[in-house]
Structures are given as structure tokens and as C-alpha cells.
Structure 1
Amino acid sequence: MKNGFTLILFLCLVISCHDSKKNRLSNLVNEWNGKEIQFPSHLAFTVQGKDTVCFDYSRSTYKIVIYADSMGYLSCKLQLSKWKTFMQEVDSLRDQNKAVSFVFCFCPQNREMLQNVLCYEHFVHPVCIDEQDEFNKLNHFPSEITFQTFLLDRDNRVIAIGNPILNPKVRELYLKLIRGEAKTTEKQVVTMGELSENKVDFGIFPKTEKQERIIELKNTGTEVLVIQDVTTSCGCTKLEFERTPIPVGDKRVLKIIYEADNSGYFQKTVDVFCNIDSSPLQISVIGEAKDK
């Protein structure tokens, strides 16, 4: 069954100010909203890619399906430690008799590398390692990692799309839908904000040297600007800032910190979620770490 309020709310949360991106995301959400996800009949689940286990998700009230292609299963992109925290939070809702299954399906180029990631993160939830990519072939999932996660109802129909680990607004939406809090259309106070720069280039530097850069976020609107959350594409990138509201016309200093764990060229992102229509504001962080 189509869920109109979910579609409207989701669009308000994730669409940027660029018309082309608006159109692309609008079309994507329209395509997937209410669509039935098809499951292969012979998906095999294992713990850390070793021991096969019985994992029955078919009778769950809700399913959260997490698909990761050959590029999306890397540790810094999966952020399995955050998934474990989110799963515990969802599990706490069981007193409402609403079973939620988390269905992880990975299509890795290198099975051993994925197993190492699962072991390193101590991730013991059942996962499907779909080396033939049959799940994706049945459904043709979006190519963007942020749209390869779905909240399904009992009939396997999509009621929300987006990654709750990468986007706190999507996380909030998932939890509200699972709790049955359909009244989520209250108008949010919004303002406007601008970054002094949206691209940070650290250039070439020794791998052992911590890199720091200061940029500013200015409230250019007519209401108080609030930074609600910050996510980064990898643990080697951090953002430090003062967690207080920003008055109209005022600025807030954001310190971007990068500590390389590997040598070579890198391109990371920092997403700043705040009460503006174009949230999140994205900062690109690039550079090249060199061995001595």
C-alpha cells in the first residue's frame, strides 16, 4: 500500500536546493515508494561468512533491507558499529509486539576481504554473501549507497528508502514508522545557512601528520540555525564544533580533522544536518597522504 505521507516527508528531508538533484531524487523515491522487494528463494545466511545459520525474516512486521554492492561493503562505508547500535535501539521497541528483521545482503568482489571486515567489527548478525548478485538482479537497486537501504512492511513493500546510519533524519523516520507514529507532518522551523567553503583540499602531506582546517557556517536566514547532527563517510574524518544554536547573522566555527590510516589519495565527505531546506550541507575533503 502506498504511503503518501512517507513520500512527502522523505522528500522534504533529503532533497537539496539544486533542481537537477531534486528531480533525480523525486523520481527515485516515486519509483520505489510502495514497490515490492523480491527475495530469491535460496538466500543463504552465515555468521561472518563462515557458519551457515537459519535466519527466518519472512514473518516479521517490518524488514530493514541493507544491500551493499562491490564498492559499498568496505568497512568505512558500511559503518557496522553504528548499525549494531541502531539494531539495539530498534530491538528495544519489541514491547510493542512489532518484530523487525535486519536483512543484510552483500555482493563483494573479494569474499575474504568482507569476512575480515565482519570479523574486525565483531559483527555476528546473520548476513547473506550474494556473490552472484542475484538479489540485485531481481530488484535493480539504486546505485547510490545512500539509497540501497529500505524499510519494508509485512508484504515486503517499500514504505521508506534511505540509509538511517548515514542520515539522522531517515533514522528518525524509520523509528517513527516502526512505532506507528504516523502523525509526523508537523511543520519544522527552518532557516538558511551557508558554508564558507564546501571543499577542503589538504594537498600532499606525510601520513603521520594530523590535518586540520577551519571553515565557518553562517546563519543567513531569519530563524535560529541548529546543527542537528554530523556524519562522515569514514572514521578517519571528524568534525568538531560548538553544539549551541546559531543566532541570525552569526557564524559557527567548524574544525575538520583528518588522520590518515592509509597512504594514497583520498576523497571523503562530511554531512552537516541542520534546520534548513537544503540539509544536509556536504563538505568534500580531499588530499593525498604520503609515506615518509
Structure 2
Amino acid sequence: MCRFMYELKTVIRKLFIACFLCLFLISCKDAKTDAIISLLQKWDGKEILFPKSPIFTIKGKDTILYPILDEYKILTYVDSIGCTSCKLKLSQWKEFMALVDSVKSESIQFLYFFYPKRSADVCQLLRAEDFDYPICIDEQDSLNKLNDFPSEIAFQTFLLDKNNRVLAIGNPIHNSKIKEIYLKIIQGGEVKLDGEKNVIQTKVNVDKSVISLGHFDWQKKQKASFVLKNIGKSLLVIQDVNTSCGCTEVTYSKEPVRPGDSILLNVSYKAETPGSFNKTITVYCNANSSPIVLRITGDAE
């Protein structure tokens, strides 16, 4: 039985590397293939080391005992670089945890380690999002020092086995395809590209992929709209829309779009601080050009 489980995990890891490589290169065609392969192979099966007695908190108020258990885990690490709320996406993590809880075949522990510029900013976000799951505010960046994580946010989340070895790498909140693969592994299913070639494809025309919001008062919410027209012969289905920042929200109709019809993506942006910005909206759909990357830019003053 032990040998069977070992062989099963080995197959899962190899399949995941192949799948992740395909998915990552689809969304980042200019990436260096060799570098990505090397990174994935480096972390394949690697044991994650944890600091002794890390301190966890709920909403930044109370510290609690939260032992790291001998069970499957999803570990996400967030460094101090860039927009904190953009990286955390706490509301989406709450949704993902609820989804995992509804489908899991084995117990899964979520581990959040945040290394912020200012702890107060994280605590404020935790309270604002009503995020009451334990997190570790790692002010000394001790977890990263033990493991030397990749600098790219796409490679700072890990699915670990009971021995803290990496089964899969990738952020399921920032990439819907990675989310699908995580769920398949958690449920004990076969990891593959899910027969994407069998999905009925269509064609999409985007009226404009970049919208400039110009100069505006940073305290006022800005709005813009992108139009996607189905110019193919099949229904267009929007599967997921991700934004690069928590300060950017997108609303749209969930109904399939008939050939010849269009769908409106309504984008709202609320700056956290004054400054220039360049935010992306990634649309996953059954178009042959998916994922479609849209962008809003401007100067919040």
C-alpha cells in the first residue's frame, strides 16, 4: 500500500508539472521554457520547512495556538513587495476554502504566512474582509528564509502532502486552471488538461484591450467597460475573470453569449493611494484566444 501511494504521488507530481507548464506558457508566451521547467523540477517533491512555534492570529487581534498538522495542506506565502490587498485577495480565498471543504476526500489544512511591510495594513485588511481564519504575520520572514521561495507570486502557493512535501505549485486564486488542478488532486482524481481540445471553441473580438482612465482624484472610484463580441459560431461562456489587484472589481452577465452578440465587462477601480497604475483583468472563456488579458491604466492624484 505504501509503495502504491508513493507511485501515485509521483505520477501526480509529474502530471502536474506538465499541466502547469502548459498553462503557464499559454498565459506567458514570452517566458523562458527552460527556466520554468527548472523551477518546477526544483520544487517537485521538495520538503517545506516550517519555523518552530510560529505565531498565528485571527484578524490581527488575538494570538492562538495553531499547530501545523500531519495532514494535507495548502500553504500560501505573501512577501512584502507590491500591493498587499492585490496579493492577498482574502475574499477569494474564503470562497476557495469553502469549495475545498465541500469536495475534499481528506482533511486539508490551510496555512497563510504573510510577510508585510506594515503589520497594521494586514490586520486592517483582515478586519475589513472579516477574514477569521488563522494567519501567521511573519515579521522576520522566517518561513522564506528556511525555504528560499521563488520571487514570482505564481510560485508562492503549494499543495503539500502529509510529510510537507510539494505535490503541486501555483496560486489557485490567481489562475482558475490551477484551481481546477488543485481540486482534482484533493479529490484524488487524475491530473490532466481536462480534454480542452474537446471543449467547443468560439472566437471573440475585443473592442479595445487597454482603457486609460486619465488623471483623477484618487479618492473617487473610477469606472470603465470592455466589450467582448462573440464572432464565432458557438456560444461564448465566460468561465472566470481574475484581476491583478483587489482594488479592481469586475461585474458581468453570467449568461452564455450567442453568436453575433456581445457581453459587457464593467470594471470599477478604487485607488488605495495616489500614483500611476497599470492593472490587468484576465478573462478565461471558451474562446481560442483565452485567456484574454485586458488592462486599465491612469494616474490617481
- Class of the TM-score when normalised by the shorter of the 2 chains: 0.7 to 0.9
- Picking from 83, 100, 117, the partner of 1:109 is 117
- Tell me which moved more, 83-92 or 12-21: 12-21
Alignment of 1:209-224 (within 5 A): 210-217=221-228
Aligned equivalent of 2:90: 80
> What do the CA deviations read for 1:188-243 (whole angstroms, capped 9, x no partner)?
13566564443322111234665444444456778655321101233442334444
Separation (CA, whole Å) in 1 of partners of 2:267 and 2:62: 41
Separation (CA, whole Å) in 2 of partners of 1:158 and 1:278: 31
- Picking from 46, 51, 54, the partner of 2:62 is 51
Separation (CA, whole Å) in 1 of partners of 2:91 and 2:20: 25
Q: Given the superposition, is the C-alpha separation of residues 4 and 277 from structure 1 closer, same or farther in structure 2, using an over 3 Å criterion?
A: farther
1:145 CA drift (Å):
1.9
> What do the CA deviations read for 1:59-114 (whole angstroms, capped 9, x no partner)?
11x100010111367234311122122212222346x3x11011111112212222
Separation (CA, whole Å) in 1 of partners of 2:202 and 2:98: 34
Q: Given the superposition, is the C-alpha separation of residues 86 and 240 from structure 1 closer, same or farther in structure 2, using an over 3 Å criterion?
A: closer
Q: Is the 8 A contact 1:72 1:145 kept in 2?
A: no
> What do the CA deviations read for 1:134-176 (whole angstroms, capped 9, x no partner)?
1111211121223211111112122222211222222221111
Separation (CA, whole Å) in 2 of partners of 1:172 and 1:106: 24
Alignment of 1:25-104 (within 5 A): 25-60=36-71, 62-71=72-81, 74-93=84-103, 96=105, 98-104=106-112
Aligned equivalent of 2:217: 206
Aligned equivalent of 2:279: 268
Q: Given the superposition, is the C-alpha separation of residues 72 and 277 from structure 1 closer, same or farther in structure 2, using an over 3 Å criterion?
A: farther
Give the match's secondary structure for 1:15. Answer: helix
Separation (CA, whole Å) in 2 of partners of 1:156 and 1:205: 48
Give TM-score scaled by structure 2 length: 0.81
Aligned equivalent of 1:156: 164
Separation (CA, whole Å) in 1 of partners of 2:146 and 2:43: 14
Q: Percent identity?
A: 44
Q: Is the 8 A contact 1:230 1:271 kept in 2?
A: yes
Separation (CA, whole Å) in 1 of partners of 2:28 and 2:224: 26
Aligned equivalent of 2:242: 231
Task: Give 1:165's aligned amino acid.
Answer: I
1:256 CA drift (Å):
3.3
Q: Given the superposition, is the C-alpha separation of residues 180 and 277 from structure 1 closer, same or farther in structure 2, using an over 3 Å criterion?
A: farther
Task: Give 2:62's aligned amino acid.
Answer: D
Give the match's secondary structure for 2:26. Answer: coil
Q: Is the 8 A contact 1:205 1:288 kept in 2?
A: yes
Give TM-score scaled by structure 1 length: 0.83
Query: What are the ranges of 5 or more consecutive residues in structure 2 without an aligned counterpart?
Result: 1-8
- Tell me which moved more, 183-192 or 265-274: 183-192
> What do the CA deviations read for 1:257-280 (whole angstroms, capped 9, x no partner)?
334465433332211112357643
Aligned equivalent of 1:281: 292
Q: Given the superposition, is the C-alpha separation of residues 100 and 199 from structure 1 closer, same or farther in structure 2, using an over 3 Å criterion?
A: same
Q: Is the 8 A contact 2:218 2:274 kept in 1?
A: yes
Q: Given the superposition, is the C-alpha separation of residues 260 and 79 from structure 1 closer, same or farther in structure 2, using an over 3 Å criterion?
A: same
Q: Is the 8 A contact 2:70 2:163 kept in 1?
A: no
Q: Is the 8 A contact 1:65 1:150 kept in 2?
A: yes
Q: Is the 8 A contact 1:226 1:244 kept in 2?
A: yes
Q: Given the superposition, is the C-alpha separation of residues 142 and 247 from structure 1 closer, same or farther in structure 2, using an over 3 Å criterion?
A: farther
Aligned equivalent of 1:129: 137
